[in-house]
Structure 1
Amino acid sequence: MREMSEVRFYSGGKGDEYPRMIKVGESWIYVEVLSSSLFENGEREWLLKGEDGNLYRVRGKEEEWRVERVKKDKPP
């Protein structure tokens, strides 16, 4: 697992890396990748669902990643 400031990446074995944990406040939470995009400028973006029920977007490239909360899921 590779760590970048607020994102910990997991290597899938074929050279693909994806976010596995993100830092929210002072805590690390596990995330599930819902979608992934690669842009022409080399930036990557993932839409993630956190174990806390929130949706997050991780966007950036190489060593600079931005994490933002997209929305909070309503309780069942």
Structure 2
Amino acid sequence: LDLEAWRDAADLVHAAVDEVAGMHRAKTVINYVRGVPPVVNDAESVGLLDAAMTERRGSYAIEDTEQSLGGED
């Protein structure tokens, strides 16, 4: 869910799969395809948009949301 986790994901997947396979004396082949990095909005840009929307539409137009995995399936 952040850039560091995205960078570490391939190593973590390989380590976890290899550990499980090792317990069963199985061989593994992993084709890990790294997708696009996560979107991380910088605070300054968010602040500018917040101020602009508040000025234009009022404070009711601004709503914080929880982090979402979006279309991850």
More strand as a share of residues: 1
The alignment's TM-score, normalised by the length of structure 1, stands at 0.20
The alignment's TM-score, normalised by the length of structure 2, stands at 0.20
More helix as a share of residues: 2
- Which of 1 and 2 has higher RCO (CA within 8 Å, sep 6+)? 2
